[in-house]
Chain A
Amino acid sequence: MGGMLIQCQDIWKSYGSRPALRGLNLQLESGRIVGLLGPNGSGKTTLIKILNGLLTPDNGIVLIDGTEPGVYTKSIISYLPDKPYFAGWMKVGDLFDFFEDFYMDFDREKADHMCKALQIDEKLRMKTLSKGTKEKVQLILVMSRRAKLYLLDEPIAGVDPAARDYILSTILNNYNPEGTVLISTHLISDVERVLDEVLFIQNGQVVRQELVDDIREKEGKSVDELFRDVFRTVPFGGGVW
């Protein structure tokens, strides 16, 4: 299991009496763009938060680059959360300073450059920005790092289709090629073209893990079609007999 970037063994996690992960097992290699796909409430965000140390699993082993979540793993993980996490008083430039201070792999020039390209003024305070602009700033911060693992939780859920394309190409053009990108989403058709590998997650377990090319070759389906097959829900009032 030496070359694995992520290893999860029998991860259990519940919120009170509500289980989110039920004995999840997972192994991921370096240098891939992986889609973490599953319906709402299947455990995607929980898994990502366990990988970056924001949640503690009830049971099981998590290893990132061979190490349990801690100072080292945090220094190699670049995390895009599903909601903004800034103090409102900070200016965009303050956040860049902040990341430059704490992350050795943060490329300030790249961040400034992306900021200019997106026409975001670094002197603006975070709380004055629109929701979409906040998300863009967050994406700039995350993609300006040369991380070994990018954990992107729903990076395109809240933005319009034009911005989706921009965000996906930003991810594609800026990630560290030796690193792995894990993108959680349920908007599969939008991300499908960038993925090397997919993880289907359902009821807190990985139900399928496959390379995208294999799916196309073996099953003759797109990831979107396969997803619909795997997670097909029988409509109410139908299919009883």
Chain B
Amino acid sequence: MLGKLIKYDMKSMSRAFVPMWILSPIIALLLSFSIRGAVEWANSPMMGRFAYFGNNILIVIMVLLFMAALIGLLVMTIMFVIQRFWNGLLKEEGYLMFTLPVKVWELIVSKALTATLVACISILMGVFSGLILSVFSTQDIIYVFVFIWKNLLSSFIEVGPIFWLNLFLFMILLVLGTVGSIYHVYAAMSMGHLFATHKVAGSCLSYIGISIVMSVLENIVMLIMGYIFPNMGYYWTSYAMLEAMSSLSIIYMMLVEIVQIVIFHVITERILSKKLNLE
């Protein structure tokens, strides 16, 4: 049943996001051409001694536009995560979903998996569009990439496979972090659902409340860790040790995320199983 739920959630999300994913690199490309044209114009002899000044302003504008686009993508993704859960489970559509012969955890996991996929693809498309924007607006940037790539490559050969392993772990950590944030929102909305009135305000309060509790807990764990392993810096005697320490801390952060995800999932599942009230 989970597979079927995911199929339908994917279908409903792809309608909104696929056009945007296709459009964003195209818009980035078009934007880059216009910026390039403008830069050339700013550098033309006609501009005289203002050329350098004009050029810099344009680059600042380009960076701002890029950031605005990224923020837009981020906001849209967050809105999607909230809307699919709120409207899809806690409003009228919930009548359909909660009368299906499926387990409550399947409904939640299906939503979470689809939302994670949307968030990850959006992030990738955002980075990809940013690359297109920078590469095509000023070609100098290609040389910068080549330079960075060559230098990184030569250092990888020196540092060996642990670096790649850490990079890989870090990517997984990013995905886990995304899942964690999505589940954080889910748990908050489920808790808001318990409020008799002002459910939206209740959800916002729950979100803040969860954040406070989680950061307090994390700090307590950090304090205990610091007590058990004092003077961690003492072990940072070589590059290899530093790498090993990074692996350990990434794994630690991954565990923290996994624990959070499990807690949020259990909260959401319990509330929607035992306290569901679709009025």
Contacts and interface: CB of A to CB of B under 8 A. Distances in A.
Interface in B1-50: 1, 4, 7-8, 12, 15
Interface in B169-205: 196-197
B278 A87 contact: no
B100 to A, nearest CB: 5
A241 interface: no
B100 A74 contact: yes
Contact of B95 (A81, A89, A102): A81
A236 interface: no
Given A16-B196, A85-B93, A102 B100 contact: yes
A85 B95 contact: yes
Contacts of A101: 4, 7
A154 B92 CA distance: 16
B80 interface: no
A84 interface: yes
Contacts of B7: 101
Nearest to B8: A98
Contacts of A75: 101
Interface stretch (B144-152, B216-224, B269-277): B269-277
Q: How large is the interface on B (under 10, 10 to 19, 20 to 34, 35 or more residues)?
A: 20 to 34
B101 A71 contact: yes
Contacts of B12: 87, 89
B276 A56 contact: yes
A61 interface: no
A54 B90 CA distance: 10
A54 B95 contact: yes
- Among A15, A72, A79, A102, max chain B CB count under 10 A is at A102
B163 interface: no
Interface string A80-106: 010111110100000000100111000
Nearest to A75: B101
A74 B196 contact: no
A15 B196 contact: yes
B92 A55 contact: no
Interface in B229-279: 274-279
Given A53-B98, A86-B93, A102-B1, A71 B103 contact: yes
Nearest to A151: B99
Contact of A74 (B15, B92, B94, B101): B101
Which of B96, B99, B102, B103 has the most chain A CB within a 10 Å cutoff?
B99
A87 B95 contact: no
B277 to A, nearest CB: 5
A164 interface: no
Interface in A24-54: 49, 52-54
Interface string B69-100: 00000000000000000001000111110111
A111 interface: no
A85 B92 CA distance: 5
A75 B277 CA distance: 20
A15 B197 CA distance: 9
Interface string A54-67: 11100000000000
Contacts of A16: 196-197
A138 to B, nearest CB: 10
A86 B101 CA distance: 17
Contact of A15 (B8, B98, B102, B279): B279
A52 B277 CA distance: 12
Nearest to B1: A102
Given A16-B197, A75-B101, A98-B8, A56 B275 contact: yes
A83 B196 CA distance: 21
**6 nearest CB pairs, A to B:** A75-B101, A16-B196, A85-B95, A74-B101, A54-B278, A85-B96
18 contacts: A16-B197, A52-B99, A71-B103, A72-B101, A74-B101, A74-B102, A75-B101, A79-B95, A85-B94, A85-B95, A87-B12, A89-B12, A98-B8, A101-B4, A102-B1, A102-B100, A102-B101, A103-B100
Interface of B: 1, 4, 7-8, 12, 15, 88, 92-96, 98-103, 196-197, 274-279
Given A77-B99, A89-B12, A103-B100, 17 more contacts: A15-B196, A52-B99, A53-B276, A54-B95, A54-B276, A55-B278, A56-B276, A71-B102, A74-B101, A79-B95, A81-B95, A84-B92, A85-B95, A86-B93, A87-B88, A101-B4, A103-B101
Interface of A: 15-16, 49, 52-56, 71-72, 74-75, 77, 79, 81, 83-87, 89, 98, 101-103
